[in-house]
Chain A
Amino acid sequence: MNAIVISAVWGTVMMFSAIFLKKPGAIRITAVLGLLILLISNVLDLMNYHFFPVNTHNMLYFDSFGLVFNSIAFGSTLIYFLLSARDIEDVGIHTGEYFALIFFVLCGVSIASSFNTLLMLFIGIEIISIPLYILTGADKRNLKSNEASLKYFLMGSFSTGLMLLGIAFLYGASERGTFFIDELAIGRGVGSPLFIVGLILLMSSMAFKVSAAPFHFWTPDVYDGAPTVFTSFMATIVKAAAFIAFIRLFGDSFVDLKPQWQIFVAIITAATLFIGNLTAVFQQSVKRMLAYSSIAQAGFMLLALLTLNSLAKEGILLYAAAYSLATIGIFAVLIKMKDYTFDGFNGLAKRQPVLAATNTIFLLSLAGIPLTAGFFAKYYMLAAVLQTGKFLWLVIFAVLCAAVSVYYYFRVIQAMYFKEGDAQTMEVSPVFRGLLILLAAIIILLGIFPQWVTDRLYLTYF
């Protein structure tokens, strides 16, 4: 509860900060401060210090899974702010509002990670989505940004409609008429056509939010059109939050019906892996490649949804952390580039050795090379599926796709290190470099000791 209240309050504070604080630096510091408070209060929540004893009538349910994810999301956002806050200021003149919207998104994230009824899920997802529509269009004079925003809004509204319809159907199918997720799949209504249609609609709309194939078509255009700083936020924290909501929903309500829907998820997973990886290979722009890579990574995360065992729950948290941190790092470097194509990175290693070296570590992590967090993230996903003893074909397929992903991630490394060129970058401050090194160090440490994240799930702090 701490996180929900504080993020909403601080979002409002940020809205007014632009009026009272004239210097952009002051706004930035307020935002970072707010995020620190948010992170600390969330960790305190995990340690059983609740500041706001609100009776939610069991509509929200705070367990370690959601709270640990909140910490990962807030921590990633903090690093994101530290690395890219200056670039947020460059997007337009409404600096305060941008930060405010991000805080509102975080409020949505903390609801989506702790919902216990479908209504709260809906509210959480909407609170995440609406500020994002605005952020996508934040670059007002850029036509691509406007187009992306409109596209995102139209597609997003459509999927919201599907979700509401699905919720309504499930409500109708349930025996006593309930929105509580743990009671949905109990009673006579289960298996009725109404229930099945509702489940499929809900699954489709969630698949849209995590950009799983065949609901992924909005992703490349929106990620490409949005200002790069906001793409970074959307592709990482928001996407991970949608996954957490997806897993929470299916893990708590439909887990007993797994044999019925599992094959659908398996097909979606295979399609997502295939389309994401194959299309990423043919991209010329690194930003667009990252959009497709985010689809490909979503394919791997879907393996957790497929299995829903304890390995999957630990793994998805690690995956969320590994993927978010690495992608935030790559985007932070990308923002500093003048040319977003692969050729724009040619010879970066000579001009900016720190940027190139850290970027290499981020890319290796996304590719899942050992000694980086990405390896254990993938390890958990594969192990979770293998543990079920089924879907061996999917594991092999996922592994083949992971090998394909090396192709496009390593193209960036090749450009930076092995090709001659004159990569143009914006000015880079020593603090920025230091933060990148810190981020790379975190990724490597998580690649050696993944239990630092996964063990949080089981720790008790009494």
Chain B
Amino acid sequence: MVPVLLFVIPVVAALIGFFIKNNDTARTWSLFASVLVLIVSLTGLALPAGDAHLKFSAEWLPAFNSKFSLGLDGMGQILTFLTAIAFPVIFVATWRDQYKNAGNFYALMLLSQAGLMGVFLAMDALLFYFFWELALIPVYFLASQWGGERRIQATFKFFIYTFLGSLLMLVGIIYLYLHTKNGSFSIESFYALRTMMSPQDQSWLFWLFFIAFAVKMPIFPFHTWQPDTYEQAPTAVTMVLSGVMVKMGLFGLIRWLAPVLPIGTWAWGDTVSALCIIGMLYASLIAIRQNDLKRMVAYSSIAHMGLMCLAVFATSQISMQGVMIQMFNHGINIIGLWIVVDLIERQFHTRKISELGGLAIKAPSLAILLVIVALANIALPLTNAFIGEFLMFNGIYGSVATHYNVVFTVTAAITVILSAVYMLNMIQRVFYGNTNAITAQAKDIQLNEKIVLAVIVVIILVVGVYPQPIFNLTKSTVEAILVKMNYKL
């Protein structure tokens, strides 16, 4: 029952939301719906793994044996929980943002939540594809209608990129489906293919899927849509995009690519890892030179996603475990960063780092909270990201999947240093130094913002000190996937 509710509540709430004319009512309604989803998600977390309430299956397309089957495993739990907690946080954090036709805005937000939930829940390849696209459409409308000046072109580029990627994935899905033994889209019959497909087939099929996922993450050289879209989309949408939606790519990689086409994944592992490394270095260097806060965070996100993708291809238990926890952490941390960016932009109507300064004196609580979030982004010990990145580096270094593990680890570690450079530089220039004409009248943050940032900081510290529950949750998923990839545990 839990998976169905996770998907159905936002859909129903969105359909009702389209007809709400009053802005305040729409906002309250969507917050109410998203809190309801969060409660359901927490209930799901409380259930033991494999509980009957964590699965659902119904007839959908008997003609080609595709079922409406949803399920929650460890990885699904952690990502649906991220989705469930992200939306109320986003709604509260952007409470003071005013939108024209707010009813439509919030309804589309809830629809994108439904799409995301569907992606993380789907246990049927065709259904997965459906949700994959459904998560995209509302975001396209959100960003094109409520975004910045160049929103139409930027979002359009984003849409074409992702749509092309997903069409290639569709070809891959159909091809695999036609080769399943019993002609079924179910995830089990797809997993059964891993020994049946020839290495040659796996090798080219890998790219049909990987391009779709690489565009979403994004991995160099498929990343060019990302900084523009993040910059132009309204901040609430950017939070969804970078906090949750990019995880779709990693999730797809871990659930639908690596265990289905293990030989293809092994064969192209080094190539993809090299792309990840290039992207990480490249994005970090650009982030250092950015003057626009949004673009800086956008590029830092490319670097972080690159590391996670690299860790997936390292294919060791430790690195996979690191990816699981880091997917969650990155979502939380980057939403925290965006909230701060949004606060600054709303107050000063500028995102230029060079035009800001001395905020720490005027807004001490904001400064404290931001420093913690930023340190988490650099992966300092005691913060959540440290756990994830430590595990990933450890796993990449010890990886048997590649001969270049030392090179990969060292270059990846350099990007962590670079991330400290741009993050600390940003803190220094925005929060310290002297106030100027723009920041002289700065006010500190208000209650709703304090609450969400405090929630984020608490999560950062708690996960940073005691990550064991997440390990317990995802352990079985990691092991199951590695077994399917033929990895000796």
Contact = CB atoms under 8 A, between A and B. Distances in A.
A382 B171 contact: yes
A136 B129 CA distance: 42
Contacts of B141: 417
B145 A379 contact: no
Given A383-B174, A417-B141, A369 B133 contact: yes
B61 A451 contact: yes
16 contacts: A314-B63, A370-B129, A379-B174, A383-B178, A386-B171, A400-B164, A403-B164, A403-B167, A406-B159, A406-B160, A406-B163, A417-B141, A417-B144, A417-B145, A418-B151, A451-B61
Contacts of B64: 383
Interface in A348-380: 364, 369-371, 379
* Those 9 A-B pairs whose CB atoms lie nearest each other, nearest first: A403-B164, A399-B167, A370-B133, A370-B130, A418-B144, A451-B63, A383-B174, A386-B174, A418-B152
Nearest to B155: A418
Interface of B: 61-64, 129-130, 133-134, 137, 141, 144-145, 151-152, 156, 159-160, 163-164, 167-168, 170-171, 174-175, 177-178
B155 to A, nearest CB: 9
B170 A407 contact: no
Contacts of A386: 171, 174-175, 178
Nearest to A395: B171
A369 B137 contact: yes
Interface in A408-422: 410, 414, 417-419
A450 interface: yes
A369 B130 CA distance: 9
A382 B61 contact: no
B168 A396 contact: yes
Contacts of A192: none
A378 to B, nearest CB: 9
Contacts of B152: 414, 418-419
A407 B153 CA distance: 11
B174 A382 contact: yes
Contacts of B62: 451
Interface string A434-457: 000000000000000111001100
Given A414-B156, A454-B63, A379 B170 contact: yes
Given A369-B137, A450-B61, 5 more contacts: A370-B129, A371-B133, A379-B170, A386-B171, A399-B168
Nearest to B164: A403
A181 interface: no
A410 B159 contact: yes
Question: What does DSSP make chain A's interface, helix, strand, loop or mixed?
Answer: helix
Contacts of A371: 130, 133-134
A382 B160 contact: no
A414 B144 CA distance: 8
B145 A418 contact: yes
B144 A396 contact: no
A400 B168 CA distance: 8
Interface residues of A, number: 28
A410 B171 contact: no
A370 B64 CA distance: 16
B128 to A, nearest CB: 11
Contacts of A387: 178
A414 B133 CA distance: 18
Contacts of A399: 164, 167-168, 170-171
B171 A403 contact: no
A370 B163 contact: no
A402 interface: yes
Contacts of A402: 167
A387 B137 CA distance: 29
A379 B177 CA distance: 12
Interface in A291-348: 314
A403 B61 contact: no
A455 B137 CA distance: 29
Contact of B63 (A382, A396, A407, A455): A455
Contacts of B134: 370-371
Nearest to A415: B152
Contacts of B133: 369-371
A406 B61 CA distance: 26
A105 B141 CA distance: 41
Contacts of A454: 63
Nearest to A311: B64
A369 B168 CA distance: 14
B170 A410 contact: no
Nearest to B62: A451
A387 B178 CA distance: 7
Contacts of A364: 137
Contacts of B167: 399, 402-403
A319 to B, nearest CB: 15
Given A396-B168, A414-B156, A403 B174 contact: no
B214 to A, nearest CB: 16
Given A370-B134, A396-B168, A414-B144, A403 B163 contact: yes
Nearest to A360: B141
Contacts of A449: 61
A382 B171 CA distance: 7
A418 B147 CA distance: 10
B192 to A, nearest CB: 19
B78 to A, nearest CB: 26
Contacts of A370: 129-130, 133-134
A396 B174 CA distance: 12
A363 to B, nearest CB: 12
A159 B171 CA distance: 36
Contacts of B174: 379, 382-383, 386
Interface in A167-219: none
A364 B63 CA distance: 24
B121 to A, nearest CB: 16
B173 to A, nearest CB: 10
A314 B63 CA distance: 11
A355 to B, nearest CB: 16
A270 to B, nearest CB: 16
